[in-house]
A and B are shown apart, each in its own frame.
Chain A
Amino acid sequence: MKKIVCYGCNLGCGLYFGDVPYFRKNSPVNSGKICRFGMKIHRYEKVLPKVDGKNVELDDAIAAAAKKLADVKEMAFVSFGDVTCEEQLAFNKLAEAFESDVHTCIPRFIGANIEKIRQSKEIITFIDPYTSYPLILRHMLHAKKNGAKITSYYWKKLRIADESVILNPAEIDKIKSINFGDSLVITDLNPLNLDFSNEIIKSCNAENIVCLKPFLNSTGASLISDGEKSIYQIFEEIKEKKIKGLYLLESDLGIVPDDTLMAALDELEVLIVQQSMRNALSDRADIVLCGDRKFEGKGTVLNFEGRVLENEGGTEGIKILTDILKSVGEEIDYDKMHAEVLSKLGINEIDEYIVPKYDIKYKQPEAEIKNYEGDAHLVYAYNPFMWNNVIDRDFVEISPSLVESLNLHKDELLKMTSSKGSVAVKYKINNAMPDNIVLSPMKLPISTDIVTPVNFKEP
């Protein structure tokens, strides 16, 4: 069994993997415990290499990619960080060879570590640990057991919180006036909520923020790569024809709430995706290069604390990049990349039980937090199960009184209409929900943003 890191999020949960996952009880972050994502880590449909919709040998796909890279000038390179540091670095080299940067779409930031959560006396959380980053829950429970007061700011009441403040989309800018004091703040930094997290990171001390991130190696990737564009900027530039070709490394741009944005990808001269999972993006791409499965890449991974972890596996992903780089006369290999990663991180050896010190400045993205109009709102509460396309919950959560006011029976569907159209979905009744929010773990076709104003009348 190989020692791997779960790719559900950037918490860095360790586990073993043979053909199924098994618990690695001396893993520092999670003591071997894994969430329902980790338990299903292997359920994964692997994509086959493709060029223009036809299945081809991997070598042919690589040759096609190399040719396109040479032809199309304005290429953009995106890797959210669902790969090891070594592969990310190899991808950087590739981007450099074509005079470009790799964009991770998540700013560089390392805040407080797990030990700090366990010791703190006051915690303010902006995430729902039961769904979003489940393995952080146990550390919060530990703090609570030792007397910590937990306040949550979220779309519904959280069981763990002593005080639950329910966010109201119409007055979301009120988070600007929260007095954080010396509380430990738990929030997440993901490509879709930069305005929101920016506001929080700005208003408190970096040492007091636990900043969770969504992808396997978000932290490592953002340390290694320099690109600064946000996911929305990339779409904007594609529309403006500033970007003519796109190379995506294990990065599904389909996480954006507004599906219509994806149509921009059809305007590209070339869309190259290097990923292992089959999804809507791989079906849309011109060239599909298939590397190791997300958890099978050999190399180092940095979790949200900056803890350096080792992932045992193969180097197929790096090999694809090596082969493309060969076409422009550059030679790289895993060992070279590994040595460079260690020197970039300023460490000599990998010790998962020690969190190294980093001195990183958070660079604020330019974004203004905005309120949403309307009486009821559909909120897309993205979580590991969604950003990895492993949809295991196809229902929304609503309050009992909303169900009553809409006269819904069990097994009926909830109908909602937004400016983009209507949808009918299954629902779950949750006492913790406010009456004006429909919380959805999945992206619905009617959503226009993270928060979408909706009404329940027939159109």
Chain B
Amino acid sequence: MRLRGDRSMEEEWIPKITLFCCNWCSYAGSDDAGVGRKQQPPTTRTIRVMCSGRTDPAFVLAALLEGSDAVLFTGCHIGDCHYISGNYKAKKKFEMLKEVVDELGLEDERLQLQWISASEGSEFAAYINKVTEEIKAIGPSPLRQEWMK
């Protein structure tokens, strides 16, 4: 949460997206996007976790309540987990969480799961672009307080 907003930001609303990246694949993927100079909007706040399985659903809920307009789960492709089964656990957590936030009335786009490998820099950038456009289209999260800039 930041109260002191950049004034120029108020002209065009830019969403805030919390991105959970696993250390071995998706974080490296995002790095690859940077190294490859792939254009992507400055909407994401990346949180590196050792494994996508470590992304506790409570982190996601906290991110949503603290003003994120969307939360993305990312990790190694199924079968490629550095810890063998971490991403299966992530998938389960995501599925359960998805049902809960859907029941709560949050739009589908606000919680997403994407597998990104270390070499998929351009896919990563394209994905962030896509999500940013989706969130721009549906506007700020109803869970965010008006004063959370």
Q: Which residues of A contact B1 (CB under 8 A)?
A: 410
Bound Cα distance A403, B149 (Å): 13
User: Is A407's CB within 8 Å of the partner chain B?
Assistant: yes
- Chain B residues with CB under 8 Å of chain A are 1-4, 145-147
New A-B pairs, 8, CB < 8 Å, besides A400-B147, A403-B3, A429-B145: A400-B145, A400-B146, A401-B147, A407-B3, A410-B2, A410-B3, A431-B145, A431-B147
Bound Cα distance A250, B133 (Å): 64
Bound Cα distance A404, B149 (Å): 11
17 contacts between A and B (CB under 8 A): A400-B3, A400-B147, A401-B147, A403-B147, A404-B4, A404-B147, A407-B3, A407-B4, A408-B3, A409-B2, A409-B3, A409-B4, A410-B1, A410-B2, A410-B3, A429-B145, A431-B145
Task: Specify the chain B residue showing the minimal Cβ separation from A401.
Answer: B147
Q: Tell me the smallest distance from the CB of B10 to a CB of chain A, in Å.
A: 13
Bound Cα distance A31, B146 (Å): 38
Bound Cα distance A429, B147 (Å): 10
8 Å CB contacts to B: which residues of A392-410? 400-401, 403-404, 407-410
Q: Is the interface of B mostly helix, strand, loop or mixed?
A: loop
Bound Cα distance A429, B4 (Å): 14
Task: Specify the chain B residue showing the minimal Cβ separation from A399.
Answer: B147
Task: Specify the chain B residue showing the minimal Cβ separation from A412.
Answer: B3
Q: Which residues of B contact A403 (CB under 8 A)?
A: 3, 147
Q: Which residues of B contact A404 (CB under 8 A)?
A: 3-4, 147
Task: Specify the chain A residue showing the minimal Cβ separation from B66.
Answer: A410
Bound Cα distance A401, B149 (Å): 13
Q: Which residues of B contact A409 (CB under 8 A)?
A: 2-4
Per-residue CB proximity of A368-411 to B under 8 Å, as 1/0?
00000000000000000000000000000000110110011110
Q: Which residues of A contact B147 (CB under 8 A)?
A: 400-401, 403-404, 429, 431
Bound Cα distance A408, B147 (Å): 12
Bound Cα distance A410, B3 (Å): 8
Per-residue CB proximity of A417-459 to B under 8 Å, as 1/0?
0000000000001010000000000000000000000000000
Bound Cα distance A144, B145 (Å): 27
Bound Cα distance A409, B4 (Å): 7
Q: Tell me the smallest distance from the CB of A23 to a CB of chain B, in Å.
A: 27
Bound Cα distance A407, B1 (Å): 13
Bound Cα distance A401, B145 (Å): 13
